[in-house]
Structure 1
Amino acid sequence: MAGESAEKKLYDAATIGDVAAFQQLLQGQESIMEEVLQINQELARDLDSKNSSSLHLAAAKGNVGIAKRLLPIAPEMCWWRDCHDMNPIHVAAMKGHDEVLKELLQMDLFPAMERLHRGQTALHLCVKHRQLSTLKLLVEKLGHLVNAQDDDGETILHFAVKSSQVEVINHQLFLFVFSI
């Protein structure tokens, strides 16, 4: 119940645009986490019932402060997969949390190259969930995956065409023209 009210307060602060209250509430969450980790750093490595780590949750919520605090303690969490077979990089890419993604990619690029169900890449996830800015960020770091095919032989361009994502199609064509 306390977690629900804290989340509601965060939501309300974001909804009305109260940046100061929003930042204060986030800082409070980060402070609590910091205190817990000082008592027992192994708690950073605990998994929930969906096999999600604290880093998965920070990636899903877009909490870059918590991600920054967790990475030095347990950098191996970048590789861990949840019940949906996604690591925290996949989660951040799917949700469009660019700042968290930048932090995760600084640690290690290799988890971002891990394939998902049916051979999809983090780039496929970006297109599938309409995260253009995140796609651009990943293309800068993982350009060699732009033409990667999933198990059905589909690239991110195929995904973009099927879902009429003109911006992604234009971006991919731009990259193609300038790579010749």
Structure 2
Amino acid sequence: MAKESLFDAAYKGDDEVLSRLCEENPNLLNRNYLDDEHRNVLHISAILGHEKCVIEILQWKSSSTYHTCLARDRNGRNPAHLAAIHGRLNILKLVSRVEVCDGWFDALTEVADRGNNVLHLCVKYNQLEALKFLLPIFPEGIGAKNEDGMTIWHMAFYGNILQVKRRAELIRFLGQRTSNIVNIKNANDQTALDLFLQRANLSADDFKKSKSVETVILGIINVLHQSKALTAEAISKRQIADDCLEFLEKSKDAIMVVASLIATMAFQAMLNPPGGVWQDDSLDGPNPHRPGESMMAQTHPKYYRRLVVSSTVAFVSSLTTILMLLIRGRMPKDFIRYPTLVVVLLLIAMFMSVTAISVAYAISVAIIAPSVRGHLSAVKEIAIIVTMVWCFPLIFFFITNAKASKGAVAVEKELQEVLCSSEGPDSNNILGDGE
């Protein structure tokens, strides 16, 4: 009989009857009566928003009051969780009242079923006002993940598209207050944008161009644009760009030194070609020449042309590398739009300079080393073989990475299109009401 009277008072919100029952039997609340859903009277009062009954229970000087606040129903939720789910803002605000049991604040910060905190529940059940109240009180719950690795941003896109549309206002609020966590991935390696595209059955192109979609969805797209939301794939590609910037910062000094040395070597190879230059002036005879002209140009014109080409390629590509590094060093970090492309161009320039200077070295050795009865000497053979062994792996490395670099640059351009369109579609007050 006492149990029925107690629950009847809780359902009706009759705090006077509840107080009288507790005075008649001080141990009544200690007995922890539960209904079929394993809910106590505090659960019932919180669900129905009966503030006076909740205060009466929380202020009751009982040894079990604290545990009553933390008691869980069949779904693993305590009274504070249920108050948030049903949007009972007046019940949630009791946390700021000094005379209320400390267990009420602890109940708000407790984790519910499947690792959801009270903020997850507010978002899942679209309780915007409760979320606005609880965010300053429970800031550590903003980036917290549940058992599925979902933050409150993921939870905003939980369920079917109709449920997502009903959360349009809540999503806009999240975009204004918690956009710093919009690109966190869940346990399935998905961001909030990935979930939204799945729910709305949109492609990445539809998201970027915002075409052929209804007003509510368009409003959500606008919020995601402004929050710079990205898919998991785009984030992975952005990581490649960040790694490229880090590579530039760490390797620029070493690359500068190597490029300078190669440029010096190529310059010297032209000033002092193998065999030296003519010192005299002879316009007659089989080899007419002037002082300062290359002897190799007269004696081995075919090899000399190849030496000039390889040395020039090495010199120009090294200067290009040096110039790119100097320009990069004078620019802010965010100025370069496609860091992956910059790194690819640097690698191409360095590849050309290293390969060209290697060829120039092989030609020089072939000219300087003596021939044996018209055949290549051992020195020449060794020089040619070593150069080929050096160049072929380098060429293979360059070719195998060319496709990956091309793909990274292409995706990075798509990423920049998304970031540059952060203004999103024109939608001053574009969010409509979900169905």
TM exceeds 0.5?
A: yes
How far apart are the structure 1 equivalents of 2:117 and 2:16?
A: 34
Higher helix share: 1
Larger Cα-atom Rg: 2
Give the whole-Å Cα distance in 1 for the aligned partners of 2:29 and 2:133: 27
Q: Is contact 2:47-2:82 (8 Å) kept? A: yes
Alpha-carbon displacement from aligned partner over 1:31-69 (angstroms, at most 9, x marks no partner): 111110110122223222332221111101100000111
Correspondence 1:1-180 to 2 at 5 A? 26=13, 29-45=14-30, 46-49=32-35, 50-73=37-60, 74-104=65-95, 106=97, 107-108=101-102, 109-162=105-158, 163-164=164-165, 165-176=167-178
How much identity, in percent, do the aligned residues show?
27
- Cα distance in 1 for residues equivalent to 2:66 and 2:95: 9
Q: TM-score, normalised by structure 1?
A: 0.77
Give me the whole-angstrom Cα distance separating, in 2, the residues matched to 1:111 and 1:33. Answer: 22
Aligned residues: 158
Tell me the distance in 2 between the aligned counterparts of 1:93 and 1:69: 19
Which sits farther off after the overlay, 164-173 or 50-59?
Answer: 164-173
TM-score for both structures, normalised by structure 2? 0.34
Aligned residue for 1:168, secondary structure, equals helix
Asked if the contact 2:120/2:152 (under 8 Å) is kept, the reply is yes
Q: CA deviation at 1:178?
A: 9.0
1:35 maps to a residue whose letter is R
**Residues 90 and 177 of structure 1: CA distance in aligned 2, closer, same or farther (over 3 Å):** closer
Q: Distance in 2 between matches of 1:105 and 1:86?
A: 21
- 8 Å contact from structure 2 (residues 80, 108) kept in 1: yes
Q: Is this contact kept in 1: 2:88–2:130, CA < 8 A?
A: yes
Measured against aligned partners, the alpha-carbon deviations of 1:73-106 in whole angstroms (never above 9, x if no partner) come to: 2233111112221111001011110111111464
For 2:172 and 2:59, how far apart are their aligned partners in 1? 38
Q: CA RMSD in A?
A: 2.7
Greater CA deviation, 151-160 or 97-106? 97-106
Deviation at 1:177, TM superposition (A): 5.8
Q: Is the 8 A contact 2:84 2:127 kept in 1?
A: yes
Q: Are the aligned partners of 1:44 and 1:53 in contact in 2 as well (CA < 8 Å)?
A: no
Rounded Cα–Cα distance in structure 2 between residues aligned with 1:115 and 1:85 = 9
The answer to whether the 8 A contact 2:78-2:112 is kept is no
Change (3 A) 1:132 1:126: same
Could you say what secondary structure the match of 2:22 adopts? helix
Residue-by-residue CA offset, 1:126-167 (whole Å, 9 max, x unaligned): 111111101111112101211111111111111213423222
